Amino acid sequence: DGQVWVFDASHQLVAVFGPAGGASPNGEPYTASANPINAAVNSLMGPNHSVVVGAGDYSTGGVQIDIDQDGTRVLGNQFGIDPRSAAGLRTSGGVEESTIFGSGAPQIFRIQADDVEINGFDLIGTTGGSADVITSDGHGGNGGDSGAQIRYNFVSQGSDDGIRLHNHTVYLVVEPREA
């Protein structure tokens, strides 16, 4: 449905991924892909990149999104916006959401790097499977201090644990939390 933009550590747009027939706004490389989020994450060649995902429906196509570059930020269209119903700011399945369907993948996101942020998505796991939605085993060299930040996401239909985080010994942020 939408496009996915990749920005380098200096915040320069370096690539655009999306459906066939799309185009980059300023002549940056454009890559047509059935799974543009995975293609964008796989294109990262160093730390501290941002992958910005436009509103729309995306499918993993049965392939998990492996984040293996330190400092990667994967930002949905609603990043930074509170998804709790009490806040009244977002609706799961709404047209402004970046919705990712697990579609048979073992998980939607697998974090294998330090200081990764996943923010602003509507994440829908695999119905009837045994998939987690987000997994992280604490990649860091300081006894598992990965610094993962899971913020402002809807997470549903995680058929196993939903979000599985192991070996995070120093800090981990999962927001928002119900009081």
Taking the CB of residue 127, how many other CB atoms lie within 10 A of it?
13
pLDDT tens for the chain, 179 residues long, are 578 989 988 888 888 888 877 777 677 778 888 889 999 999 998 889 999 999 999 988 888 899 989 899 999 999 999 988 888 899 998 999 999 988 788 888 888 888 889 999 998 876 555 556 777 766 555 445 567 888 898 888 765 556 666 555 444 555 555 44
